[in-house]
Amino acid sequence: MIFDYKNYTTQESIDLMMTAKKIAMYDNLHTQLGFFPVAKVITHILEPLSNAFNWMPSKMDIGIPDGWRELKPAELNLPDSAMDRFGFYKVSSPVTGKIIPSQGLQSRILGEFDDHNQLTKITLTWTGTNDLVDLIDYTQLNNGNIAKHLEPLLEAVKDLAIKNNLSPEDIIITGNSLGAGLVNVNAQARETLAGGFFKDSNYIAFASPNIHDDGSVLNIGFENDGVFRIAGDADSFFGAFLGTKPLVVNPDKDYESTFNNIISFDDPHSLSLLGGGNYLAKSLLNIPISWTPHIMNMVTDSWERIATSKFYPLLNKDSVVVMDNLSQLMRHTKWVGDIYQNTGHYGKPAFIFGNEYGNMLKGNDAGDYISAGAGDDKINPGLGADVIDGGTGTDTLMLHGFARDWDIYNVDNFVYFRPKDGTGMKKTESIEKVEFAKEYYKTFDVNTHNLSYESGLIFKTKETVQYKNAVVGTNGDDDLTGSVVFGLGGNNTLHALKIASLLVGGEGNDILLGNDGNDELYGGEGNDFLYGGKGNDILFGGIGNDIFHFDKNSGGKTDIMDLNQYAHDKDTVQFTSDMFKDVCDVLLHARDVKGNVVISDAQNTITIHDYSIDLLIQNQVLSVV
């Protein structure tokens, strides 16, 4: 999962991230330019104003977590002169030393205490950029020269930890921006600094420009942040600069330890060619556009929204994620989604997260997961097999066509909208209303047994759309047969009838067996086996490592809609040897056609959508058994 770190459990990893984030942002925003109390201004002025006008996408919660407090110099066996007048511990710069006492490299050190006032954890935060003197030290991140200047504070923390019987695992080393860069430097030198004591400590970095990519650091940040990952893993400042694109555009390079495809959809990003669609959107020089996500990383609850989502178990570091961070100014006029073609993942399935206000959320055509959150939201999922959680509030689903173009099912508190054109079913939860594009003047209520629409002020007319019947399984392992079958949880085996059938696996590792009709199969979440049989079939594997199986009894036209579309999926298109003798034989029967791959023999025409022969070979997708 996306915040998974080392061998910690999912919840332990989330707790580590949330603790590190609160402390790192409190530290970075505490004081700017050596005198300006940003954290207090946010807490006492900006946050109340934002709440009054619903301005920001979330509350700006700048403060220390419960149970934590700042550690005084005496507790660290340091002289009072080790701390400046704003509560920062001083760190000597390899370039400037400490020319201004309250500026330059800094740190805060906090402790968590139990009910008996016993120290249980320590967090050392390397402070992010908060004055102009800091800027020169960015040149020292990639070459590692700055590492030895961190040692005096590390030695003090080490001594305090040993005195209180704390292990290195009880220590979090965190920071934001420049501070995150120092976290990566610290991690890279962890086996030598302070005698290697911090080798197994926890390194959580936010929006770091440089990346140490051995797995010791959890590097968190937005893809469209001009700072995050810009210096990468180069071994010098000059090398990092040469690695940028012209006009200091972030190269957007992926790393194992970084979040690679998470977008802050904020006001500047929404401005089309002036915003996220511009080549200069990720330029370090384009302050209004590329630096806004850097700020959103600090003052919004983006990371908390991800961690608390129902979709969290499905996410990994390469998942495409779009966070609605629009202000009141834009949130009622801009559709939020993965809308720009210059990202490298445009058209891939995305996880789209709203916030506590009314959002306008838009999917693409690849099978999205949309979590609207609180507020009265509008959700336009597009095509593809989508999963939608409306959250609280009165949420409206916007679909194409007429109401008559859809078959609708109410199964296990989810309402499924299945388009008759085969473009992808919508699994919805907490949706109160639905509109159809060709009946835009009607808004249907979503009820337990039907959709209903009532029109007219004097002579009222009522229209209903009844839900269809289905065979429904349990959350256990079921073996079910029918023309419409929903498997729910468990590892299920679903069988189609000889007529056109709909099989929906749901969660679990399911086996979906089509028959002689024109079948539509949805694997859902899990590692599924999909077999269409004869007829013109449409196959959606969903998230997981799915097998699309064909044998000598297969026939007709088959569309595979989402082969390896989700990050880290390892799907397989599997043929029996009585169809093709080996993979080379399959490739001889394959051709690229308008962005798809078509594999054909005497009985079959198999179209793999949004794929190429090169990708079939590169990803080793094909198998003959």
Using alpha carbons, select from 31, 44, 39 the residue that is nearest to residue 63. 39
Confidence tier at 102 by pLDDT (50, 70, 90) = low
**Could you read off the pLDDT of 435-471 as tens digits, one per residue?**
999 999 999 999 999 999 998 767 778 899 999 999 9
**Could you read off the pLDDT of 587-618 as tens digits, one per residue?**
999 999 999 999 999 999 999 999 999 999 99
Q: Is the pLDDT of residue 342 over 90?
A: no
Bridge partners, 172 (sequence order): 123, 202
> What residue spans define the domains of the chain?
1-28+66-220, 260-393, 395-466, 471-624
The answer to whether the beta carbons of residues 212 and 180 sit under 8 Å apart is: no
Confidence tier at 110 by pLDDT (50, 70, 90) = very high
Using alpha carbons, select from 223, 309, 300 the residue that is nearest to residue 258. 223
Q: How many CB atoms lie within 10 A of CB 51?
A: 12
Q: Is the pLDDT of residue 100 over 80?
A: no
| Interatomic CA distance for residues 595 and 609, integer angstroms | 7
Q: Please give the average per-residue pLDDT across 421-444, as a whole number.
A: 97
- Sorted by sequence, the CB contacts under 8 Å of residue 279 that are 6+ apart come out as 249, 342
Q: Within 13 A of 319's CA, how many CA atoms are on the CB side?
A: 23
Listing DSSP states for 588-620 in one string gives: HTEEEETTEEEEE-SSEEEEETT--HHHHHHTT
484 phi and psi, to 5 degrees? Answer: -140, 115
DSSP structural state of residue 245: B
Bridge partners, 111 (sequence order): 69, 122
Listing DSSP states for 460-509 in one string gives: -EEEEEEPPP-EE--SS--EEEESEEE--SS--EEEE-SS--EEE--SS-
Listing DSSP states for 93-156 in one string gives: BTTTBSSSTTSSSEEEEEEEE-TT--EEEEEEEE----SGGGGGGGGGTTT-TTGGGGHHHHHH
Bridge partners, 202 (sequence order): 172
| Interatomic CA distance for residues 487 and 476, integer angstroms | 9
Strand pairing report for 604-608 and 68-70 = unpaired
Confidence tier at 134 by pLDDT (50, 70, 90) = confident
| Interatomic CA distance for residues 277 and 489, integer angstroms | 40
Q: Is the pLDDT of residue 368 over 90?
A: yes
Percent of the chain with pLDDT over 70: 99
Q: Is the pLDDT of residue 26 over 80?
A: yes
- Sorted by sequence, the CB contacts under 8 Å of residue 273 that are 6+ apart come out as none
Query: What was the pLDDT predicted at 7?
Result: 95
Say which range, 57-61, 95-99, 519-523, has the weakest mean pLDDT: 95-99
One-letter amino acid identity for 584?
C
Strand pairing report for 89-90 and 351-353 = unpaired
Q: Which residues of 524-536 are buried (b: 16+ CB within 10 A; e: fewer)?
A: bbbbbbbbbbbbb
| Interatomic CA distance for residues 590 and 604, integer angstroms | 12
Using alpha carbons, select from 374, 12, 352 the residue that is nearest to residue 202. 12
Query: What was the pLDDT predicted at 222?
Result: 98
**Could you read off the pLDDT of 303-323 as tens digits, one per residue?**
999 999 999 999 999 999 999
Q: How far apart are the first and last CA of the chain?
A: 32
Using alpha carbons, select from 115, 4, 122, 129 the residue that is nearest to residue 70. 122
| Interatomic CA distance for residues 599 and 594, integer angstroms | 13
Task: Quickly tell me which residue has 């790192």 as its tokens.
Answer: 24
Q: Please give the average per-residue pLDDT across 143-166, as a whole number.
A: 97
3-state secondary structure labels for all residues of 73-88 = HHHHCCCHHHECCCCC
For residue 297, the surrounding DSSP H or E stretch is helix 292-299
For residue 343, count CB atoms less than 10 angstroms from its CB and return exposed for 0-12, middle for 13-18, buried for 19 or more.
Answer: buried
The answer to whether the beta carbons of residues 176 and 151 sit under 8 Å apart is: no
Percent of the chain with pLDDT over 90: 92
531 phi and psi, to 5 degrees? Answer: -130, 115
Global pTM? 0.95
**What separation in angstroms does the CA of 167 have from each of 15, 160, 185, 523?**
18, 11, 21, 45
Pick the CATH number of 1-28+66-220 from 3.40.50.1820, 1.10.3210.10, 3.30.1490.100, 3.40.1010.20: 3.40.50.1820
Q: How many CB atoms lie within 10 A of CB 336?
A: 26
One-letter amino acid identity for 78?
L
Give the total residue count for the chain: 625
Question: From its phi and psi, is residue 568 left (phi > 0), alpha (psi between -120 and 50) or beta?
Answer: left
Of the two residues 133 and 410, the one the predictor is more confident about is: 410
**Could you read off the pLDDT of 239-275 as tens digits, one per residue?**
999 999 999 999 999 999 999 999 999 999 999 888 9
Helix segments in 189-290, DSSP class H: 237-242, 287-290
**Could you read off the pLDDT of 268-283 as tens digits, one per residue?**
999 988 899 999 999 9
Query: What was the pLDDT predicted at 80?
Result: 95
Q: Please give the average per-residue pLDDT across 46-71, as a whole number.
A: 94
The answer to whether the beta carbons of residues 371 and 389 sit under 8 Å apart is: yes
Q: Which residues of 423-458 are buried (b: 16+ CB within 10 A; e: fewer)?
A: bbbbbbbbbbbbbbeebeebbbebeeeebebeeeee
| Interatomic CA distance for residues 248 and 144, integer angstroms | 22
Q: Which two tokens stand for residue 549?
A: 């199986």
Of the two residues 34 and 592, the one the predictor is more confident about is: 592
**Could you read off the pLDDT of 481-523 as tens digits, one per residue?**
999 999 999 999 999 999 999 999 999 999 999 999 999 999 9
Q: Please give the average per-residue pLDDT across 178-188, as a whole number.
A: 98
